[in-house]
Each structure stands twice: as C-alpha cells, then as structure tokens.
Chains A and B, each alone.
Chain A
Amino acid sequence: DSGVTQTPKHLITATGQRVTLRCSPRSGDLSVYWYQQSLDQGLQFLIQYYNGEERAKGNILERFSAQQFPDLHSELNLSSLELGDSALYFCASSVGQYNEQFFGPGTRLTVL
C-alpha cells in the first residue's frame, strides 16, 4: 500500500458526460501528479500540483482540468468525454523534487 488513495476504482459513463476523479496524497506529500495510462499512448503525464499551485502541465486536453485543495487532496475533472478517454488514471505524490513518486491504485474510466 503506497499510502495514496484514489476514488472511485471504476467509473463507467457515456460520451459527452463529465466525471471527477479524486486523489488523496500520502501524509506530508505536497506534490500531486496525474498520469493517464492507455494501451496506445502508454503512461502520459497530465498535470502536477505543488502545495495548491499548478506546477506543470503535460499532455492534458482542454476538456480536462484539475485542482489541489488546501488539505492537499486533488481532483481531476474530465468533461465532454469521448471514447478515447477510456484509460487508467493514476495519481501520484511525492515529498520533494528529487524523491520518488508513490502511485495510487488508479481509477479505471470506461466511456461507452
């Protein structure tokens, strides 16, 4: 158990809908990262937050957004969902810049 929690574990929804994925980092970790894992794209970095502030953006679509709250948990919002958004979404956290990232169990999103 990495100490990073993600909810829900599975999410099935329809095209055009909006969903919210939630992540709680390990106690004491200020950085939260979101990654997407799909068969065709592999593991792709989406976005990073550090202590409530956006630190970096990767291959994140404009339909996607995220935020980190004062208690350091983070949410990833996916809207106008398309079939191609079906993937595993991972959250990770770390204590500092050069430290390893610890990954949550992921949320499997299926868009029908």
Chain B
Amino acid sequence: AQSVAQPEDQVNVAEGNPLTVKCTYSVSGNPYLFWYVQYPNRGLQFLLKYITGDNLVKGSYGFEAEFNKSQTSFHLKKPSALVSDSALYFCAVRSSGNTDKLIFGTGTRLQVFP
C-alpha cells in the first residue's frame, strides 16, 4: 500500500538559514510526489511536484525538492528561509491504479524565527 511519512512534527529554523522538511514514501510502481503548504485558516496550496525527469524539482516561492529513488525520499528545501514561510507543510503521493487520489503525510509545522 502507498504511504508517506513525515518524520518531524515541527522544524525550527532561523530566518536566512537553509531549511529542509523531510518526506519518505512507499509506493508500488513509479512515484508521483507533491508538496503542499497550508497557512492558518486556508486551504492547501500546491508548491511543486515530481512526475519524472530531473531529481531536483523547483517550485513556488523559492522552494525546491530533491527526489532520491534509492532512499525513497522527497525532501523539501529552501536555501534561505523567510518568517513568512512559517506554515504547515504536507508531502503527498499519488495513488496508483485508476484513481489519482492523494495520500498525505501527517504534516510538518515549519517555524521560522526572526
């Protein structure tokens, strides 16, 4: 069965420092991976996706993610964090088969301190 794990409930980082939010996945077949961000009282916003191709995927707001097949990971990264990046981040994998529902991780709260 497909699953996604986000091992950290919270990540704290100082503004200006690089940030990493971790995600590992388990799928049968090719993985289709996504990152979403959720600000308080808002819906989920799409950040980036990996379908195929380059292992380094660039997305919105300066975020990027590195796909690593051997480690079954898809970590979200940003070279320089902003206070405004503080939010809840979700990793998701597309389900295999006839449906393209998303299976989400439990979320990681990113706190960027000034």
Binding site for B on A (CB under 8 A): 2, 4, 31, 33, 35, 42-43, 45, 48, 55-56, 58, 90, 92, 94, 97-98, 100-106
Contacts and interface: CB of A to CB of B under 8 A. Distances in A.
Contacts of A103: 36, 43-46
A104 B38 CA distance: 11
Given A98-B32, A100-B49, A58 B44 contact: no
Contacts of B43: 2, 4, 90, 103-106
Contacts of B106: 42
Contacts, number: 53
A92 B94 CA distance: 14
12 contacts: A2-B43, A2-B45, A42-B107, A43-B104, A48-B99, A56-B99, A90-B44, A98-B94, A100-B34, A103-B36, A103-B43, A105-B42
Contacts of A105: 42-43
Pick the most buried of A2, A43, A98, A103: most chain B CB atoms within 10 A of its CB: A43
Nearest to A43: B104
A28 to B, nearest CB: 16
Interface in B75-96: 90, 94-95
Interface of A is mostly: strand
Nearest to A104: B43
Interface of B: 32, 34, 36, 42-46, 49, 51, 90, 94-95, 98-104, 106-107
Contact of A100 (B46, B90, B98): B46
A33 B32 CA distance: 17
Contacts of B34: 100-101
Nearest to B106: A42
Contacts of A31: 100
Contacts of B101: 33, 45, 48, 56, 58
Nearest to A41: B106
Identify the 9 closest CB pairs spanning chains A and B, nearest first: A56-B99, A43-B104, A103-B43, A103-B44, A45-B101, A105-B43, A100-B46, A97-B100, A42-B106
